[in-house]
Amino acid sequence: MILQLSPDAPLLLRAAATAVLVLHVGSGGVGLVSGAAAMTFRKGGRLHRAAGNVFFAAMLTMSAIGAAVAPFLPQRPSIFAGIFTFYLVATAWATVRRREDSIGVFEVGALLVAVATAAGFFALGWIGAHSPRGILDGTPYQPAFVFGSVATLAAALDLRMILRGGIAGPPRIARHLWRMCLALFIASASLFLGQPQVFPPPLHGSPILFIPALAPLVLLVFWMLRVRFTQAFGRRPRSAGAIATRGGLVPAHPGGRPS
């Protein structure tokens, strides 16, 4: 993200733009590090929860700034990318914070956000596809259709969960993990593939940058297979007010929230 200001812009405006840029880049960097840590630490453990809390705050900050600033660049796809990333992190967090088999106003609002985001992506993809060079604000139009499809899938899963009255067991863990991993992928791809100029010249255009960019997708596949096809996160006998995790029973706050 580069904020373009005229040389004669007021000092206060330039300082504000610099602060926004530093906060966006800084929170993105913290999100990448904390996200990688959360993927490494034992799920449900103290370190995993601590890293997840940092990832949650950092990614919400980064995506909110990106979505708010994008119209002024202009980078219209980044508006919906920021909103979608914010949505993914917020719903992933809410999934493990809310009591099993329960829903509320938040889930209904999140569904509406997912539907609106999907519509926005598809609209931008259509505009880009019908542009003379197939370019939308300096980027190819095809990713807009890809992310629009993913947002549509997320909305469909939200609707299914709402109609069922909530989610529990391994599907609940899977919902949390795939949304966090996808948000981490958006952040990593934005840096390593979207901003290669920040790396040393020998790495510009190097396939090496694809390794950290795509690593979250590899982790996503790994965890989906582990959660859905093994007993690592299966239901276990538990006492009231506890949540089953891979490491055992984690006490929960009243209302089913993990401690």
Which residue in this structure is represented by tokens 């505009």? Answer: 127
pLDDT of 163: 96
Q: Is the pLDDT of residue 164 over 70?
A: yes
- Whether the CB-CB separation of 224 and 178 falls below 8 Å is answered with yes
pLDDT of 2: 52
Percent of the chain with pLDDT over 90: 50
- Whether the CB-CB separation of 13 and 193 falls below 8 Å is answered with no
Q: How far apart are CA 114 and CA 87, in angstroms?
A: 7
pLDDT of 233: 67
pLDDT of 137: 82
pLDDT of 200: 86
Q: How far apart are CA 193 and CA 204, in angstroms?
A: 9
Domain membership flag for residue 227: yes
**Is residue 74 reached through a cis peptide bond, with omega within 30 degrees of 0 on the bond before it?**
yes
Domain membership flag for residue 79: yes
Q: Which residue has the higher pLDDT, 145 or 4?
A: 145
Q: Is the pLDDT of residue 14 over 70?
A: no
Domain membership flag for residue 24: no
Domain membership flag for residue 139: yes
Read off φ and ψ for residue 138, nearest 5 degrees. Answer: 85, 5
Q: Is the pLDDT of residue 257 over 60?
A: no
Helix, strand, coil shares, percent, the chain, to 5: 70, 5, 25
Most confident listed range (12-26, 110-124, 190-204):
110-124
What tens digit of pLDDT does each residue of 70-92 get?
A: 877 778 888 999 999 999 999 99
Total-model pTM: 0.81
Q: What's the mean pLDDT in 35-52?
A: 87
What tens digit of pLDDT does each residue of 210-248 get?
A: 999 999 999 899 988 888 788 766 654 444 334 444 333
11-40 and 46-69 are packed helices; what angle lies between their axes, rounded to 10 degrees?
Answer: 150
Q: Is the pLDDT of residue 259 over 50?
A: no
Domain membership flag for residue 223: yes
Q: pLDDT category, 50, cuts 50, 70, 90?
A: very high
Domain membership flag for residue 183: yes
Domain membership flag for residue 131: yes
Looking at the chain, which runs of residues are DSSP E strands? 135-136, 139-140, 242-245, 248-253, 257-258
Read off φ and ψ for residue 158, nearest 5 degrees. Answer: -60, -45
CA atoms 230, 232, 234, 236: torsion sign = positive
Q: Which residue has the higher pLDDT, 43 or 108?
A: 108
pLDDT mean across residues, the chain: 83
Domain that holds residue 117: 73-232
Q: pLDDT category, 186, cuts 50, 70, 90?
A: very high
DSSP code of 7?
Answer: T
Q: Count of domains in the chain?
A: 1
pLDDT of 104: 93
Domain membership flag for residue 57: no
